[in-house]
């Protein structure tokens, strides 16, 4: 009788082990099938998609492509004022090319603006309205912020910046910046769509 009970117990244990092994293998196959399943199709032009890359991740060493033009990001300023942060990225096609800047900020949505240095303009932001190249710009805001410098910017590792921003009725932009109590630097620019350029990471 004891031998029969032992045989039955052994048989039951073998069955249980077999069932457990079969279930584990089935679960493993299901997980493998799920991992191998292709991602659901996505519309590349949907609002939540950005086929050109995320402007908030731009850094020194990246390559920016605007149509057929390519530019290298040489340096970045991380600017902060009262808990509000934005970035200014300095880029050029080569060392002798014109200096260009890309501003990336949330106000409140993600906004990107492209700027060109205007060393030919020797003016200061002392008026509420300034006319340049036939365009009238109106004062929008001004303030003082702190910055951190990354890569090549021609500035200290960190410091302070005074800024004064103007905008025309047709949304052209004019900016004055004064770093570390230096001279006013003038730039003109315009807002551009987030997906109007492609970002190639340098690392």
- 120 and 169 belong to one structural domain: yes
- 30 and 62 belong to one structural domain: no
Task: Please write the tens of the pLDDT for every residue from 63-73.
Answer: 999 999 999 99
- 17 and 106 belong to one structural domain: no
In a domain, 47, yes or no: no
Q: For residue 76, with 0-12 CB atoms within 10 Å meaning exposed, 13-18 middle and 19 or more buried, which class applies?
A: buried
pLDDT at 203 > cutoff 90: no
pLDDT at 144 > cutoff 90: yes
- 61 and 11 belong to one structural domain: no
- 11 and 101 belong to one structural domain: no
In a domain, 28, yes or no: yes
- 194 and 130 belong to one structural domain: yes
- Could you give the number of structural domains in the chain? 2
Q: Tell me the mean pLDDT in the region 108-124.
A: 93
- 7 and 103 belong to one structural domain: no
More confident residue, 18 or 59: 59
Cβ neighbours for 196, distance < 8 A, ≥ 6 positions apart? 52, 66
In a domain, 168, yes or no: yes
Query: What's the rounded Cα separation, in Å, for the pair 124 and 56?
Result: 31
More confident residue, 27 or 193: 193
In a domain, 46, yes or no: no
In a domain, 119, yes or no: yes
Q: What does the pLDDT read at residue 7? A: 65
In a domain, 44, yes or no: no
- 32 and 75 belong to one structural domain: no
Residue 72, token pair as written in the block: 């290298």
Q: Domain residues for 13?
A: 1-37
In a domain, 45, yes or no: no
Half-sphere exposure of 170 (CA within 13 A, CB side): 3
Least confidently predicted of 48-52, 135-139, 186-190: 48-52
- 95 and 4 belong to one structural domain: no
What confidence tier does 1 reach under pLDDT thresholds 50, 70, 90?
Answer: low
Residue 21, token pair as written in the block: 């092994």
- 124 and 191 belong to one structural domain: yes
In a domain, 140, yes or no: yes
pLDDT at 16 > cutoff 80: no
Question: Would you say 168 and 137 are in contact if contact means Cβ atoms under 8 Å apart?
Answer: yes
- 7 and 93 belong to one structural domain: no
Residue 61, token pair as written in the block: 């060493």
pTM for the predicted model, two decimal places: 0.72
How many other C-beta atoms are found inside a 10 Å radius of the C-beta of residue 61?
16
- 95 and 132 belong to one structural domain: yes
Q: Tell me the mean pLDDT in the region 60-88.
A: 94
């Amino acid at each position: 009788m004891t031998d029969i009970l032992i045989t039955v117990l052994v048989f039951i244990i073998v069955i249980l082990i077999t069932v457990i092994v079969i279930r584990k293998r089935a679960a493993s196959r299901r997980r493998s099938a799920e991992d191998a399943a292709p991602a659901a199709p996505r519309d590349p032009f949907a609002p939540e998609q950005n086929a050109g890359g995320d402007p908030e991740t731009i850094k020194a060493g990246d390559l920016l492509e605007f149509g057929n033009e390519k530019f290298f990001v040489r340096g970045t300023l991380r600017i902060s004022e009262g808990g509000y942060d934005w970035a200014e990225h300095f880029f050029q096609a080569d060392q002798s090319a014109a200096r260009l800047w890309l501003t990336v900020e949330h106000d409140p949505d993600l906004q990107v603006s492209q700027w060109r240095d205007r060393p030919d303009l020797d003016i200061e932001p002392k008026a509420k309205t300034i006319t340049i190249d036939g365009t009238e710009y109106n004062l929008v805001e001004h303030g003082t912020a702190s910055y951190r410098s990354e890569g090549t910017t021609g500035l200290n590792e960190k410091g302070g910046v005074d800024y004064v921003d103007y905008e025309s009725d047709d949304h052209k932009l004019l900016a004055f910046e004064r770093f570390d109590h230096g001279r006013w630097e003038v730039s003109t620019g315009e807002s551009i769509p987030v997906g109007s350029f492609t970002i190639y990471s340098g690392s």
